[in-house]
Structure 1
Amino acid sequence: MKRPLCLIAGGFVLGETAVLLALTSWLYLPALIAAGMIFYGCRRGRTPLWVFLPLIFFYLGAARADAENEKWRERDKTLDEISSCYTEVQGRISSIEEDEGETQLVLKHNRLRIFRSGRWKEVPYEASGLMVSLKKESGPSWKRLAIGQTVAVRGEIQLFSQARNPGEFNFKNYYKSRGLDFRLSAEEIEVTDPSRSLLLECLRGLKMRSKEILYRDASKEDAGIFAAAVLGDKMGISDEIKELYQKNGIAHLLAISGLHMSLIGLSFYKLVRKAGTGFWEAGLFSTVLLILYGLLTGASPSVIRAGIMMCAGFYAACLGRTYDLLSAASLALFLLGLHSPNLIMQGGVQLSFGAVFAIGGVGPLLSSWLGKEGVLARGFSACFAVQMIILPVTAFHFYQMPPYGLVLNLLVIPLMGGVLCSGLGVIAFGTLSPVCGTAAAGTGHYILSLYEILLKAAGKMPGNNLILGRPGIMVLAVYAVFLTGSMIFIGLLKKKAEKWLIPYWGKLLFLMGIYLLSILIFLPRPVKGLEAWFLDVGQGDGILLRTEGVCILVDGGSSSKKSLGEYTLAPCLKSLGISVIDYAFVSHGDLDHLSGVKYLLENNEDIRIGNLFLPYHGRKDESIQSLEVLARKRGTSVRYITGGDYMRMGALSISCLYPGKEETPADINGESQVLKMDYVNCHMLFTGDMGETEEQSLLGKKEGNYLGEVNVLKIAHHGSKYSSSEPFLDSVSPDWAVISYGQGNSYGHPHKEVLNRLRRRKVTVFQTGESGAVRLVTDGTRIGFSTFVDGNRKAGYNKR
């Protein structure tokens, strides 16, 4: 029976999802879907067993996820206790990946010891898995390592980082889904048991040899894509190609997917059948091949999903039964969720299964309604269905979408088989002769060149990449209702086909209208009131203000996060639906206040800065001058501001209080712009890196300061004891203060003296180094704060 399996798997996975999201407002969404399953079953006249079975599995899935989460909570407690200790891990190597200059091992079945008080102490904890980083230049020992060996590794534990700002990638959750607890930077490694896995080592050797042939016989750029599509190795793909494919919505072609597995599996199955074998023999041989190929390529969730579905198809053929796509996908989802509930929350897994359920569920309805049995109609129906189903997943995890991705996928997917066959041909024929291998690369080269031409042409079209931001629960609910209603309406049109004759082009226009309306649902809405984000940029400053369709950035740099712009600032802006920064202020020329702004001007084409305001007294600094040059190249208006300058944007106004043109700052920190932001009864003061001398000068300016009305203070210089002096705090007298600094910084920020001064004045202090990004929201009268790391939990005391 087809649908009961889908309902059972759905109930089990929804139960796991509910627990994984139990601390958020998403909890009721899986429960509502489970209730919908029961209602659907009742309406279809199912027996009570099939009606309530999904609900039973809903609770079984919840129990499974809760048990798994409890294990991780216990592991996290232990890791927090031993993270600063010199550690020895003894475990078995399950995989080896080699990159330039570094080898990464994954160890399973691990035992831990820590060195404390002059002796080794056993830790009562078995790590499910860990990643070991080993520098190749540390010695030749890494060459003797093999899968299956037991090794003892000593070094320092490095915990995977979690997201500390909106939009940041959560490495902790990602590696948790892969069953990895932490990373160990190896200082010593010793093989304690040289026994190796012959099968896995043969597969690894085959992969390495195949990779060598690809890079020998094909161009470097083509070889990187061949290696990704055939071997699951993405290390050779350039950042430019990754960005090009991702921005145009075809990045799935760079990963092993169902397309690759089905092409290889079905081709081998048909070949074996034509050789005269029976269904069982052909199915068995094909299943073994798929398992080996999955192990060769790294056994990613999408590969496992495709492998399970293909094996189900072979088994159905052996039994003489009909293969049902949705049932096979449900079985794969059930098994993956049973193995690791955290996998369900990964964007790649959701995209993979979303595409399959779209093709098997929505695709046939559209294809039947269009009334065309040709390849083009079926292809368009499948692409449209996939695009509609994965749109919310794409927006939620990647915050943007290419509107032309529907057409591009329709053009490029049919040709991907040629790329895959070309890559396999390079490996097969390259084994015989380099000349043959190069010849085999020709077909794939021309297809990839065509891809590049199409993608670059699409990139020049208007609106080629829409930044949507991460949708909230209400937006997702509205989209679900809209999509369901659209499909029901199409079903009614299909039934009335004889009465209402709609031409084929009319049906296509109707579907495109649904597509455009879907995009409109996800477009970002203006902020009500004022929202301020004090970002956790490490050792630096970054404040983002949004109100009434206006976005303002005050500083944006870090001295501790080298790729702040790429991995923190740009993702944060995209997750909030920001494609244009109307006004950007740089307080002074230090790297920890401008590095992210420089990245946006120099390397990011998706986010534009309209106006850049630079410090008047820093106009001769090399770093400030370089920003000006970059800004003018991007068409950004540049202005140097000084004390007394003022601007108003609706209900929000910003004034520069210090330093004036007549001031003579002693150093670069003294050049810091001091900005005062006013929004009705909310008043914030941004102080850059000003010191005590500058504070005294500011206090001496009696006219136009209005320091006494400030209720939110951004503490100067990351909490340095040479700022935030007693007289300054007495004069400002804030209710709340935010300190931006990096965890474990070498400067000792924030200093105890500053914290004590604030504590004596009963100022509520938020620290980005502890809480991650700090969010302020206000309607102009009441002010509320929340912090990012603890799940946006609001504290009751910080509203008025």
Structure 2
Amino acid sequence: MLVLTSWLLIPAFFAAGVVLYGYWRGRNRLWVLLPLLFLYLGAAWAGYDGRKWEERERIIEELSAGYVEAEGRVSSFEEKNGSLQIVIKENRVWKQDTYYFVSGLMVSVKPFNPQIIGDSKVKGLRLGQLIKVKGEVQPFSSARNPGEFDSKEYYQGLGIDGKFSGKELEILDSREDPLLDGIRQAREWGRSLLYKYTSKEDAGVLTAAVLGDTSGLPEDIKSLYQKNGISHLLAISGMHMSFLGLAFYRILRKAGLGLGGAGLAGAVLVVLYGILTGSGPSVVRAVIMMSVAFLAAYLGRTYDLLSSTSLALLLIGLKSPMLLMNGGVQLSFGAVYAIGWAGPILENWLGKKKILSSAISTGVAVQLVTMPITLYHFYQIPFYGVFLNLLLIPLMDWVVCSGIGVIFLGSFSPLLGIGAAGTGHYILAFYEWICKSMEGLPGYCLTFGRPESGRLAAYGLILFAGMSCLNVWKGYEAKRSGENKEEKKKGISYGLKVLFLAGMYCFCILLLKPGPVNGLEAVFLDVGQGDGILLRAGRSVVLVDGGSSSKKSLGKYSLEPCLKSMGVPVIQYAFISHGDQDHLSGVAYLLESSEDIKIENLMLPHHGREDEAIKRLEELARRRGTKVKYVAGGDGVQVEGLRITCLYPGKEDRPETTNEESEVLKMDYGNCRMLFTGDMEERGEGQLLERTGEKRMLAEVNVLKVAHHGSKYSSGEAFLDAIKPRWAVVSYGIGNSYGHPHQEVLDRLEERGTEVFKTGEGGAIKMWTDGERIRFESFVD
């Protein structure tokens, strides 16, 4: 009952709205009540699926400790990053004398066996074969920070339970699935021809657009397309299916084949092409919808876009309810619903016979409907995406034709294959040029972060109301035109209507723009073995450290996504406590490689100016135009009610180690006072306590970021007695080789009644205060 009164509340209101709308339109009561019926049946099915996954997770946890053997059928495989990655399904797994059934495993095997891998090509392995692997099973990791990719949720949607590090591999039954493996070999053949007759960059894009293989897509091109809102052009979707399926269907019809035969052949073609391109969710949706279209033609019935889309959504949801939470799936269905619902409303309002009316209405409709989905999952809005799509989408058919031509013609003649690549090459060069040209325009890519649920609900209501008003407006115009033909000349011009749509688009973007933070928000990031604290007050952002020794790509996969998810394009101040990598590696990435996050002021430790790591950081900052300042005791900054003061070490101090160079920063926001201590050790604590003014300031502290990840050589008795913190946060990596946090430190804090939060247990620790009240929560919980 709790579930039905929490997360089902919003969809229940939506379904109730559909019921009331149905009554208002005079629909049959049976059909009107169907939305509510399907809502709660879907909720029951999702709950059942969730309970099954809880059991599957428990099994993976039991298997994760120790060496195991697994037997399963090969579902897919590819070479990636020097290893062979195999998905095996219907697995029997043995651990000692216990047998388990595991539905799906992602197996990674290093290339060690010439029978399996030779000359960098997979030789002996085929789809459908029964194999045995020996090694270790691990669960997929969940997101532990805001904005991080959730591997566990993603692979659960695909029906894969865990990852398997394979040490040995043996083929038990060499009989393959002839259809599936034949399609795989055809795909590999097509891929080899694309790379043979086109440049490496073009081949990566063409392989993604024609064969659904994104493994060779250049990272810079992928990022460029994403920021400009055209990355969907590389995904196999309804555009590809309709282009191939309908073309094949029309050819067969003109050849004299009947509706049934041509439709069946077209359906078979799109199914085979769907398998060829990997059978992703958007591909499955397109296959279902095309099959329904062929069936409608055969039966002589009208094809309804929204009905076929809903059928595809129902079937995919039945197979895997968790897949519906995938951002790509939501964007795919959102775009189609936009085309079927909002698109016709805008086109009727603009005028169907007006030039570019269909393209403009479809582009704006898709952008308006998918914008909150894009922002929720990817945190950025490509402002000019709607205009680029109007220009570039029509050209994508020619890119697909070019790729297919390279494969087909290149099979007969190298010269023909190279010739067929020309069209695609010049169009892709045009894509790249125009996308790079957009980078210099204002508002090119807006980082708004993940919108809260209330803002999303308000956006949905306003969008629905806006579309309803346009519908009524069109009806009113039609009525006036029917009463007096001369009224047609007095209506709003087409140009003004297009400008109105542009204004509506900008207004919807403003609706999703985040407001300032109310109070102070502090996020102690789970960076593994390291430190990273993000402070937000109003529209100002301060970063204290940001590095890790256990997460090698912290900046790319944790720090930057977290900042984007919170709508942070600019960091006003970034403090680096000292020159160890576990405090600065992520900040170095932001300065060197991040195009979306800017640091205005870099605050470095005064006594670390000779450290090589600090020198490199200063050089990176100056290249980016970031101001650099060296901080010592007594220095400080203030932004929007938040004051940060450096207490130690002063310029006169002489630290003996890098850890002793650590800036000790005190943060004041109303009556909330935090202390950030870097990797400060007991010697520095003692020197700080000898100073009367600083000791008095320490007594005000109520939140302590425990020094040196909870090392027993820090947070001494005298230091904790001087502070007596009410709360403390320890940042460390699970299973680190140092044994952090040491039990002695935890015991000292417990003796003083301090409530301790640990990033190793709860993931990122969030704290909020209005200057009086203080509230903590952990991201994982």
- Shorter-chain TM range is over 0.9
- Does the alignment pair 1:576 with 2:566? yes
Q: Do structure 1's residue 471 and structure 2's residue 451 form an aligned pair?
A: yes
- Structure 1 residue 81: Cα displacement: 2.5
SS in 2 for 1:544: strand
CA shift for structure 1 position 475: 0.4
Contact 1:534 1:774 in 2 (8 A): yes
Task: Give the total of aligned pairs.
Answer: 765
Query: Deviation at 1:725?
Result: 1.0
Of 126, 130, 133 in structure 1, the residue corresponding to residue 108 of structure 2 is: 133
- CA displacement 1:255-278 (0-9 Å, x = unmatched): 111111111111111111111111
2:294 to 308, 314, 325: 314
Contact 2:705 2:729 in 1 (8 A): yes
Query: For residue 59 of structure 1, what is the aligned residue in structure 2?
Result: 40
Structure 1 segments (4+ residues) deviating >6 Å: none
Q: 1:18-37 maps to which residues of 2 (within 5 A)? A: 22=3, 26-37=7-18
1:780 matched residue in structure 2: 771
What SS does structure 2 have at the residue aligned with 1:144? coil
Letter in 1 for 2:228: N
Pairing partner for 2:97 from 111, 121, 135? 121
State how far apart, in whole Å, the 2-side matches of 1:519 and 1:58 are. Answer: 30
Corresponding residue for residue 84 of structure 1? 65
Residue 374 (structure 1) shift: 5.1
* 2: CA distance, partners of 1:680 / 1:54: 50
Counterpart Cα distance in 2 of 1:138 and 1:696: 59
- Who is 2:86 aligned against? 105
> Relative to structure 1, is the Cα distance of residues 408 and 523 closer, same or farther in structure 2, using a 3 angstrom cutoff?
same
For 1:650 and 1:159, the matched residues in 2 are separated by: 43
The residue correspondences of 1:417-456 to structure 2 (distance < 5 A) are 417-456=397-436
Q: What letter corresponds to residue 334 of structure 1 in structure 2?
A: L
How far 1:100 moved relative to its partner?
A: 4.6
- Give the whole-Å Cα distance in 2 for the aligned partners of 1:152 and 1:23: 44
Match of 1:651 among 641, 644, 648: 641
Counterpart pick for 1:302 among 265, 282, 290: 282
Listed as ranges, the matches of 1:219-238 within 5 Å are 219-238=199-218
In structure 2, C-alpha distance between the alignment counterparts of 1:718 and 1:51, rounded to whole Å: 59
Query: Is the 8 Å Cα contact of residues 60 and 138 (structure 2) preserved in structure 1?
Result: no
Which residue type is aligned with residue 582 of structure 2?
D
- 1:383, CA displacement in angstroms? 0.5
Deviation of the 1:446 alpha carbon: 0.4
Alpha-carbon distance, 1:650 to partner? 3.3
Q: Please state whether the residue corresponding to 2:356 is helix, strand or coil.
A: helix
Cα deviation for residue 24 of structure 1 reads 11
Residue 393 of structure 2 is matched in structure 1 by 413
Q: In percent, how many aligned pairs have the same letter?
A: 57
Q: Tell me what 2:692 maps to.
A: 702
Which residue number in structure 1 is paired with residue 172 of structure 2?
192
1:606 to 596, 613, 616: 596
Question: Structure 1 residues 610, 669: CA separation in 2 closer, same or farther (over 3 Å shift)?
Answer: same
Q: Is the 8 A contact 2:536 2:542 kept in 1?
A: yes
Q: Give the letter for the 1:239 counterpart.
A: E
Q: Distance in 2 between matches of 1:419 and 1:315?
A: 29
* 8 Å Cα contact 1:101-1:137 kept in structure 2: no
| C-alpha separation in 1, matches of 2:172 and 2:220 | 43
User: Contact 1:613–1:640 at 8 Å: present in 2 too?
Assistant: yes
1:766 aligns with 2:766: no
3-state secondary structure, aligned to 1:129: strand
TM-score (norm 1): 0.94
Matched, 1:483 2:463: yes
139-148 or 57-66, which deviates more: 139-148
Residue 519 and residue 687 in structure 1: after superposition, are their counterparts in 2 closer, same or farther (change >3 A)? same
1:673 to partner: Cα distance: 0.3
After superposition, the Cα gap between the structure-2 partners of 1:784 and 1:24, relative to the gap in structure 1 and judged at 3 Å, is: farther
Question: What whole-Å deviation, never above 9, does each CA across 1:613-638 have from its counterpart, x for those lacking one?
Answer: 00000001111111111111211111
1:551 has 2:541 as partner: yes
The 1:577–1:691 alpha-carbon spacing in structure 2 relative to 1, beyond 3 Å, is same
Please tell me the residue identity of whatever aligns with 1:140: Q
**Gap regions ≥5 residues in structure 2:** 118-122, 482-486
Inter-partner Cα distance in structure 1 for 2:443 and 2:76: 43
Q: Are the equivalent residues in 1 in contact too, given 2:61–2:138 (CA < 8 A)?
A: no
Shift of 1:304: 0.4
List aligned pairs for 1:157-196, cutoff 5 A: 157-196=137-176
Moved more, 512-521 or 188-197: 188-197
- Is residue 89–residue 153 contact of structure 1 (8 Å, CA) maintained in 2? yes
For the pair 1:728 / 2:712, whether they are aligned, the reply is: no
SS at match of 1:554: strand
Instruction: Give the counterpart letter for 2:72 in structure 1.
Output: G
- The CA distance in 1 between the partners of 2:704 and 2:308, in whole Å, is 57
The reply to whether residue 789 of structure 1 matches residue 780 of structure 2 is yes
Aligned counterparts, 1:227-626, within 5 A: 227-373=207-353, 376-497=356-477, 498=481, 501-626=491-616
Indicate how the Cα distance of structure 1 residues 374 and 311 shifts in structure 2: closer, same or farther if over 3 A, else same. farther
Provide the residue aligned with 2:193 in structure 1: 213
Could you tell me whether the CA contact under 8 Å between 1:26 and 1:473 is conserved in 2? no
Distance 1:297 1:628 in 2: 47
- Which whole-Å deviations, capped at 9, do the CAs of 1:289-323 have from their partners, x for residues lacking one? 11111111110000000000000000011111111
Equivalent AA in structure 2 for residue 50 of structure 1: W
Distance 1:149 1:211 in 2: 23
Cα contact 2:726–2:754 (8 A) shared by 1: yes
Deviation at 1:496, TM superposition (A): 2.4
Aligned to 1:740: 731
Structure 2: distance between partners of 1:346 and 1:211: 27
Q: Is the 8 A contact 2:76 2:87 kept in 1?
A: yes
Could you tell me how far apart the structure 1 residues matched to 2:298 and 2:637 are?
A: 75
- CA apart distance, 1:138: 5.0
Give yes or no for the alignment of 1:679 onto 2:669.
yes
User: 1:620/1:25 Cα in 2 relative to 1: closer, same or farther (>3 Å)?
Assistant: farther
Counterpart position of 2:120? none
Name the amino acid aligned to 2:116: S
Specify the SS of the correspondent of 2:714: coil
Match of 2:75 in 1: 94
SS of residue matched to 1:281: helix
Deviations 1:716-755 (A, max 9, x none): 1111111111111111110110000111111111111111
Q: CA deviation at 1:140?
A: 3.5
Q: For residues 514-570 of structure 1, what are the alpha-carbon distances to aligned partners after superposition, in whole Å with 9 as ceiling and x for unaligned?
A: 111100011111011111000001111000001122110000011111111111111
Q: Taking structure 1 as reference, are residues 23 and 559 closer, same or farther at Cα in structure 2, changes over 3 Å only?
A: farther
Residues 41 and 51, structure 1, Cα contact 8 Å, conserved in 2? yes
Amino acid at match of 1:740: S
The worse-fitting range, judged by mean Cα deviation, of 648-657 and 599-608 is 648-657
SS at match of 1:152: strand
For residue 508 of structure 1, report the CA deviation from its aligned partner.
0.6
SS state at 1:529 partner: strand
CA contact under 8 A between 2:76 and 2:88: conserved in structure 1?
yes
CA deviation map 1:605-662 (0-9, x unaligned): 2111111100000001111111111111211111001011122223211110111111
Instruction: Tell me which residue corresponds to 1:669.
Output: 659
TM-score normalised by length of structure 2: 0.96
Structure 2 residue identity aligned to 1:75: R
CA-CA distance at 1:193 after TM superposition = 1.6
Which residue pairs with 1:5 in the alignment? none
- Distance of 2:23 and 2:628 partners within structure 1: 65
Q: Residue type of the partner of 2:517?
A: V
SS of 1:106 mapped into structure 2: strand
Question: What displacement does 1:141 show?
Answer: 2.5
